[in-house]
Structure formats: structure tokens, C-alpha cells
Structure 1
Amino acid sequence: MRGNERAKDRLWRWRSNPMRRREDIVEAWVVLAVWVVVAVGGTVAGLVTAHAADEVLSQQRAERRSVRAVLLTDVPHREVTVRAADDKALAKVRWTAPDGSTHTGRTLVNTGQKAGAGLTVWQDGRGTLTTPPPSPTGAAVEAGVLGTAAGLALTGATLAAGAVARWRLDQRRITAWDREWESVGPTWGHKTG
């Protein structure tokens, strides 16, 4: 088939055709709607999600502060055969908040440290221990991944809904063909004899 003929075959549902059924027109609109939602909705969902994630991560960077803390207990090395690069354990620490009040709490620290060792911990705007905020590069990557995932999720859901709608239309066409065949088929009988 040449390119022009292929284009006509793809658009046959839109042309006036005596063989065209109502289901064919509905299917053409379903396919068009699915691709519009995938193209526009997927892009919008991805951009909105990425922007929202970036705002949340920027807010975390703005409100989280590092403070100096003192380790209150020894943190021995774990008895494992393979050490991880970030071998950490929960330990009790004491720190002074920016307002001058002293706090104690538990946080993850590197193993192998002795009580009294100084370290840096992170606290949120309420003074609660938390994880370090993501770097600007890490936040951009995370926002991009979340935006892509949101766009792909919407695309997958839309394509699945479109496939179900087309399947239902096929079922209706098959049922209509069966009914028509039951009424026309017997008149086509060939008598021999």
C-alpha cells in the first residue's frame, strides 16, 4: 500500500460510508479522545506533578537546618561480613536548637563512633530531627522522576480505558452482526437436489 492509501484506511471511520455503523463513529471519537488525553493530559499531569514535587523539596531545603550534636552512646560496628558504604545505626544524640533550648533524640549515625563524638544532625522548622534535605540536583532529578511517573500513569490509565471502550464496541458489533445474520442467513440457503 502506498502512503496515501494507508492514510485513507486509517480515516475510513470519518468518511461517509454506507457500511459505517454507529459503533464505528463512536470508536473513531474514542481513539481521538484517548490520544488527545495522552498527549495533552499526560504532559500536563507530568508538569504539574514535577512542579509540585519541586516546590515541596525546595520548602524542605528552606526549612531544614543543620545543627551540631553530641553522641550520647557508643555506636559499635555491626557484626556483618560485608560493610555498606553508609553503615548506620540509630543512636541517642543531644543538640542545642537555634533558640538555645537543649534537646535529645534518636537519629541515624555512622557506626563505629564513641559517646561524646560531635556530629551534624538536621532538624525541621519545629525542631524535630529529620533527614537532610535533598540537594538542588537531587531534588530536580526526583521531581523529574515523579513527573514522568505521573504522566506515564495517566497515559496507562487512559490507554486501558480506551482499550476497554473499544472492546465493548467490538462486542456490540459482533452482537449486531449475529442478529443480522440470523435474519438474513436463512434466505441465502442453497437448495440442491
Structure 2
Amino acid sequence: MSDPIPRAQPPPQRAEHPDRWWRWRNNPLRRRNDLFQAWVGLLLAVAVGVATPLTGWAVGASVHGSLSATAEQQARTGRHLTAVLVHDAPRHPEPGSAEARETRYPAEVAYTAPDGTGRTATADVVPGLAAGAGVRVWVDGDGDIADPPAGPEDIRYRAIGWGSAAGCTVLATGKLAYAVTAHLLDRRRSAAWSDAWHRAADR
């Protein structure tokens, strides 16, 4: 009588927490490029860990200094003027709402430039203003309507944004460098396995 067919066994379960440090331990299955990959990962982690905050701080400080200098120069050469609305400004669909208080519409205004010449230009005004209403505008050194100089809060937020973006770029570059290195090593390992199988088949 033949032996009964053994019952099917479930496939072995993969470890929930794979060993991430196996490349550092000496074992018969570890190859030299495995150890090399471990060292590359360690060096990149240290380099990225140091470079990310330093780069973010350096870029943020540089942007803050540049924007502050620009704002100071604009404040020295420009000034606020009162312009007059030429035509009625459009009305907001929901007068009195929070959105209406934040909305600005482009409208034609007339004003006298610092050099004494009369000019017309487009400025953003609140909804519903009637023609002839006074509008406070900022003019630059040439007498043209422009955005007012950035304030300290706006400059700080922009500097933080640029610094954060620079730090994230360093972090992404480090991850990409490790991924490329791992991919090249995987290709090399696959080629070595293929050569070993061919040599074994030829025996």
C-alpha cells in the first residue's frame, strides 16, 4: 500500500520585521558588494543628516537677507499715494461676506506721480467702490504702481519655504543616490548569479 499523500502545508510566512542589519554581520551568504552597499548607505545617511539642516539654514538665511535688502531698497525709493478710481469697481456677488472682504478687483485709477505728472494705471481695489473714491496705492521709484515692500512676516515665511525646499532636495538626492547604487549592485549580483549557473551547467 502506497504511503498516503501528505497534507499540503501553508507557505512559510515572511518575517514581519525583516533584518535590516544582516549586511553588517559576517555570514557565508554575505558578498563583498553587500558590505559595500551597507557602507554606502551609512555614509549617505550621515552626509544627508548633516547636509540637510545646514543647507536648509544656509539657503533660508540667504533668501532672508536678499528679500530684506530688496524690501529696504523699495521702501527708500517708493512711497504710498492716494489715487482716484476712474470707474465704478465691480460689486461682489455676496456683499458683506468674508470672501468679499478678501476679494480685490483690478480697476483703473488716476494719480499724480512724485515727479508731478498725471498718470493712469490699474490697481486692485475692494469691490463696490464708486468712481472718484480714493484708493491708497504704492508707487516705485519710477512712479509706477507696484506691490508694496514685503513685510518681516512675509519675508520670514518665504525664507522658511525656500530653506525647507532646499533641505528636502538634499534628502531626495541622498535617497536617489542610494537607490541608484542599490540598483547597480543588484544588476551586478544578478550577472554574477547568471555566470555561476552557466559555469555549473557546463560541468
TM-score normalised over the length of structure 2: 0.72
> Pairwise mapping of residues 87-166 of structure 1 onto structure 2 (< 5 A)?
87-166=103-182
> Pairwise mapping of residues 177-188 of structure 1 onto structure 2 (< 5 A)?
177-184=193-200
- Summarize the Cα distance change of 1:80–1:53 in structure 2 as closer, same or farther, 3 Å threshold: same
Deviation of the 1:173 alpha carbon: 1.0
- State yes or no: 1:73 paired with 2:123: no
Contact 1:57 1:133 in 2 (8 A): no
Deviation of the 1:137 alpha carbon: 1.8
**Deviations, residues 141-191 of structure 1 (Å, cap 9, x unaligned):** 22112211221122113212311221221121122122123324676xxxx
Counterpart amino acid of residue 66 in structure 2: V
Q: Residue 3 of structure 1 aligns with which residue?
A: none
- Summarize the Cα distance change of 1:33–1:107 in structure 2 as closer, same or farther, 3 Å threshold: farther
Q: Residue 24 of structure 2 aligns with which residue?
A: 11
Aligned length: 179
Structure 2 residue matching 1:130: 3-state secondary structure: coil
Structure 2 unaligned runs (5+)? 1-18
Q: Residue 191 of structure 1 aligns with which residue?
A: none
Contact 1:43 1:151 in 2 (8 A): yes
Contact 2:85 2:109 in 1 (8 A): yes
Counterpart amino acid of residue 159 in structure 1: K
Q: State the superposition RMSD in angstroms.
A: 3.0
Contact 1:91 1:109 in 2 (8 A): yes
- Summarize the Cα distance change of 1:162–1:8 in structure 2 as closer, same or farther, 3 Å threshold: closer
Q: Residue 64 of structure 2 aligns with which residue?
A: 54
Counterpart amino acid of residue 178 in structure 1: S
**Deviations, residues 20-48 of structure 1 (Å, cap 9, x unaligned):** 54423542343134224422332233123
Q: Measure the CA separation in 2 of the matches of 1:134 and 1:148.
A: 20
Q: Measure the CA separation in 1 of the matches of 2:116 and 2:199.
A: 91
How many percent of aligned residue pairs carry the same amino acid? Answer: 34
Structure 1 residue matching 2:110: 3-state secondary structure: strand
Q: Measure the CA separation in 2 of the matches of 1:124 and 1:41.
A: 40
